[in-house]
């Protein structure tokens, strides 16, 4: 079986030393960046940074759970993916709720902090994406890891754009807009993961 699961009908299940090492590396990267970005998000009053920090936290948990279920029967891997999809959806709803709240308690974020942390986070996520790129196809468990990594990189670019918008406009609206876009991305990925996990579970039962 090849690393990406391409070229045959059997999806890659994560059973390789290279994949396990990649997961350990991105667990460390994402756990560290969650702490850095959440502190910066509160310090800079940035909803986009907080949303991106939550994405790092979700990814840390996702990668740890993915690592734990590697080699387990398909039903457990599919259930793990289903749980991760539901958790990602819950994060998306939280970001939407906190963003709506912030609309009524507007405080202009610190654009400079947003930009610096956004670039740092993007660098961390590009490293993660590079480590996981060849494992982007596979079962629902493996697929969920890739989607979370992709979300992070997109989210970091969005935070940097938001920082520029905040700096140029002197208002919080670019930050809130980006937080809303990221919440939508969370929800979209949640639907994809849940759909694939449910198909795998249905296949087991049939």
Q: Give the global pTM.
A: 0.67
Q: What is the largest CA-CA distance in the chain?
A: 57
Query: Can you give the residue ranges of every domain in the chain?
Result: 43-205
Q: Is the pLDDT of residue 173 over 90?
A: no
> Could you say which DSSP state residue 46 is in?
-
Residues in Cβ contact with 130 at an 8 Å cutoff, skipping those fewer than 6 apart: none
Give the tens place of pLDDT for each residue, 39-84: 988 888 887 788 778 878 877 887 888 888 887 887 888 888 888 7
Q: What is the CA radius of gyration of the chain?
A: 17
- Please say whether the beta carbons of 131 and 27 come within 8 A: no
Q: Please say if the pLDDT value at position 142 is more than 80.
A: no
């Amino acid at each position: 079986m090849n690393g990406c699961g391409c070229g045959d009908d059997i999806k890659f299940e994560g059973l390789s030393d290279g994949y396990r090492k990649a997961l350990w590396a991105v667990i460390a990267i994402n756990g560290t960046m969650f702490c850095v970005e959440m502190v910066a998000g509160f310090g800079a009053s940035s909803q986009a940074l907080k949303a991106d920090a939550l994405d790092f936290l979700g990814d840390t948990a996702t990668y740890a759970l993915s690592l734990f279920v590697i080699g387990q029967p398909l039903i457990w891997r599919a259930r793990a993916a289903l749980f991760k999809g539901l958790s990602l959806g819950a994060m998306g709803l939280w970001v939407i709720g906190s963003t709506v709240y912030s609309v009524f308690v507007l405080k202009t974020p610190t654009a400079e902090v947003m930009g610096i942390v956004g670039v740092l986070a993007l660098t961390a996520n590009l490293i993660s994406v590079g480590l996981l790129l060849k494992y982007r196809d596979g079962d629902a468990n493996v697929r969920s890891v890739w989607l979370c990594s992709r979300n992070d990189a997109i989210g970091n670019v969005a935070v940097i754009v938001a920082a520029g918008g905040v700096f140029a406009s002197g208002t919080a609206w670019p930050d809130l807009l980006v937080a809303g876009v990221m919440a939508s991305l969370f929800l979209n990925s949640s639907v994809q993961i849940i759909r694939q996990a449910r198909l795998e579970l249905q296949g087991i039962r049939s």
